[in-house]
Structure 1
Amino acid sequence: MNSAAQARLSPRSPFDLFIAFTVLALQGFGGVLAVAQRELVDRRRWMTREEFVDAYSVAQLLPGPNVVNLSLMLGDRFFGWRGALAAVGGMLFAPLVLVLVLAASYNQLASFPAVAGALRGMGAVASGLILAMALKMLGTLRRNPLGPWLCALLGLTTLVAVTVFRVPLAWVVIGLGLAGWCLARWCIARQDGGQ
């Protein structure tokens, strides 16, 4: 067993999951992914980086918000359905209340230039957090069956398909997800055959 797996901790109770995901949700304006990685892997050590990448990959393929899917899987891992409900509750409750309050007061606040500037700034910060998290997670690609070059090729193809050719995201996920799955199966079979 490696030292990362030995250092992994567990939440003490479903309430601990609820609090952790509430704190996580309140930190993630415009996207929780980077915050989730920092909170769950680095700070709380409930997952290793490899486990996070694997779980997040599955969470992206499932319908619904990625981090909500991740919270469901992590909650279920530790406390079954009670943990899944606690994690999802923590992920959704405080942001729901906050969004309802902001929506109710948007007409009064939208006319202030400072509010518009703050919203634009949050979008830039969210983009930076996602980029920083992606760079931090690059190390896990060394152990990926595809290797870093095929992973980079799939990532670049995804970026070009979405930004240059404006392919709908659903088609990109289906097409490149299927291509990535086939490539991974081929690489794994090749590794197993070579041993």
Structure 2
Amino acid sequence: MNSLPPSPPDPARPQPKSLTDLFISFTLLALQGFGGVLAIVQHELVEKKRWLTREEFIEDWAVAQIMPGPNVVNISLMIGSRYFGLPGALAAMAGMLAVPLVIVLLMAMVYAQFAGHPGVAGALRGMSAVTAGLIISAGLRLSGALKNNPLGIRTCAVLAVLCFFCIAVMRWPLIYVLLGVGGTACILAYRKLGK
């Protein structure tokens, strides 16, 4: 299968200076992301480092979500590859996984000792509320990019509500919603762009 190589990054825009910069940046990013990483990834890559525009981030995040594996690891691979090819993809992925893996293993050992403690259960419930807030916050911040979407804000809102309804209310498996609502969105966008 032949695919077009990614377009080269704009040299006028900030970009990672080296593989080490990529590794360290994604390590620091991974260490900030507890549960809901979308808000943190968007803030770091779009607003702080400016390696991506908001529109590029949304497109990359959409692709990362439909690929197998953790979204944030997928996006690290795509960004690393964009700037440094395969070595960049591997450096970004290593940054996302190396230090967090050690921390998770240590936390798993601690959790095994204190899992039955009521304070631990309460803390985990509290963290789930924070995670939901982070995801909603990132979604609201990124919604401004819908102005440039070929489907328009109204159609995007209808598709978002339909997606939420199918997953949260109807409890349909994600793959059906992706194929159904996502496929419909792709067809609508293709037709709109064709005009």
Q: With structure 1 as the length reference, what TM-score do the two structures score?
A: 0.90
Structure 2 match to 1:186: 191
Question: 1 CA distance for matches of 2:56 and 2:64?
Answer: 12
Structure 2 match to 1:74: 79
State whether structure 2 residue 130 is matched by structure 1 residue 109.
no
Question: 2 CA distance for matches of 1:141 and 1:7?
Answer: 25
Q: CA deviation at 1:114?
A: 2.7
Gaps of 5+ in 1: 191-195
Structure 2 match to 1:193: none
Q: CA deviation at 1:6?
A: 8.3
Matched-pair identity in %: 53
AA matched with 1:162: I
Name the SS of the counterpart of 1:115 in structure 2.
helix
Equivalent residues in 2 for 1:7-156, closer than 5 Å: 8-156=13-161
User: Which structure has greater helix proportion?
Assistant: 1
**Maintained 8 Å contact 1:75/1:84:** yes
Question: 1 CA distance for matches of 2:124 and 2:99?
Answer: 19
Name the SS of the counterpart of 2:116 in structure 1.
coil
AA matched with 2:129: A
Gaps of 5+ in 2: 1-9
Question: 1 CA distance for matches of 2:136 and 2:29?
Answer: 18
Question: 1 CA distance for matches of 2:20 and 2:164?
Answer: 39
Runs of 4+ aligned structure 1 residues displaced above 4 Å come to: none
Aligned length: 186
Question: 2 CA distance for matches of 1:169 and 1:27?
Answer: 27
AA matched with 2:184: A
Aligned-residue RMSD, C-alpha:
1.5
Name the SS of the counterpart of 1:45 in structure 2.
coil
Q: CA deviation at 1:63?
A: 1.5
AA matched with 2:42: Q
Name the SS of the counterpart of 2:135 in structure 1.
helix
**Maintained 8 Å contact 1:7/1:45:** no
Name the SS of the counterpart of 2:79 in structure 1.
helix
